[in-house]
Amino acid sequence: MKKYLLLLAITGFFACEKGMQDYRNAKPVSEVGVSTYDFLKAQGTLYDTLLRIIDNVHLTEVLKNDKVTFFIPQDNSIETAMRNVNFARIRLGDPGNWTIDSVPLNVWDSLLRRYILAGIVDADSLRYADGADLVSLYQHGMNGKMSRTNASGAVGGGTEVVEFSDRNDSRFIKDWSTALTQNVDIKTKNGLMHILESRHIFGFTSFVGKAYPKSLEAIQGPYLGYPLEIPGIVNAADFDEGPVNVAYSYSKDGNHSYRPDNPGTESCSEGDNQVSPGGGYNVGWTKDGNWLRYTVDIKEAGNYKVELRIAGNGGGIIYLMVDDVVVSNEIPIQGTGGWQTWQGAFGTAVLPEGKHLMKVVIKKANLNLHRVIFTKIN
């Protein structure tokens, strides 16, 4: 994984004999002596993809000369967005071989400009209860808000970050998609930079739909395009595609870190990419009676151990259904001490062989769900 560290320099970026200096291991500073564009260029290979897009959509001179604030997406954010669009293509029967050059330039242009604001927007200007409404270079509505992270279990005891949100043309916060900063208030010759976290997905929730409009067509079926195998891991965020009360029943919308439809998904501290990209995300904002549907392929009928990876305040109950028949005991959920503090809750299920529709029913909520792990009992 790339580590995006900032360069420590106020004046020059060139050594007389050695050429470009390597600042990737230097400490972050609040001011650099070059333009925003040249700062990115000086980072070696760390922003190659971003710079290529900037050049292709003719934003080079803007980032060299105009007074702008740039919320900088890292290359990893762009790579994740490309993986998502290729997954969408595979699900719909198209080759999953797109590169950044396959995406229309107008898509890169319109979405990249959402990260660029005219003038100087520093962190102190965003210290309002509801943040500050901002306007991108194409007059798209954004929002910036200072907030303090949690640390060692202390709410608000961590570092301050900027919540940079795409308002998605809605005045309701529940409809917004939010990215967090990794570093803020880095002054350049022509503007200001805020570096976004690498786990942010480029384009917020708009990239796949704009790059590949076919993905917006209503479909029903397994999210990854194929049934999830049991025994194995069913990632909660990989619930089926389809409308409410068919693919899911959810009473509250949340964030959309992994996929743009309901229910809300967020990056999971326990996350990894095991089995699918959904392994790095969990489903949250649960309410009593919510359920999620998964298309599964059960390799062998029989008794299974069920491990739910959960986090939350406790008091929850989950059970499983296959083809609308209850197949498990009611599994009680204990408190874990935090919404990203994960542990297992265990039960058993009797499963039939073959392809079926499985529901994870949240009888009592107050929990986040990461994944369900099925192990055959001999």
Give per-residue pLDDT as tens, 178-206: 999 999 999 999 999 999 999 999 999 99
Contact, 300 vs 318, CB < 8 A?
no
Instruction: Give ranges for CATH 2.30.180.10 in the chain.
Output: 14-209
Which tokens in the block code for residue 231? 């025994």
Instruction: Give ranges for CATH 2.60.120.260 in the chain.
Output: 221-376
Cα–Cα distance, 376 to 378 (Å, whole number): 6
Which tokens in the block code for residue 127? 């210290």
- pLDDT value, residue 160: 84
Cα–Cα distance, 106 to 98 (Å, whole number): 16
Distances (CA, A) of 172 to 190, 219, 250: 34, 27, 18
Query: Which CATH code is given to the segment(s) 14-209?
Result: 2.30.180.10
Q: Is 237 helix (H, G, I), strand (E, B) or coil?
A: helix
Which tokens in the block code for residue 18? 């050695």
Tokens 């909660």 belong to residue = 236
Distances (CA, A) of 133 to 129, 149, 179, 201, 202: 12, 21, 15, 21, 20
Cα–Cα distance, 295 to 373 (Å, whole number): 15
List, as one string, the DSSP characters of 40-51.
Answer: HHTTTTTTHHHH
Q: pLDDT tens for residues 304-345? A: 999 999 999 999 999 999 999 999 999 999 999 999 999 999
The residues, any chain, with a CB within 8 Å of residue 378's CB and separated by 6 or more, are none
- pLDDT value, residue 153: 59
pLDDT < 50 regions, the chain: 1-28
**With a threshold of 0.85, does the pTM exceed it?**
no
Task: Give the CATH architecture of domain 221-376.
Answer: Sandwich (2.60)
Contact, 304 vs 376, CB < 8 A?
yes
Cα–Cα distance, 314 to 227 (Å, whole number): 31
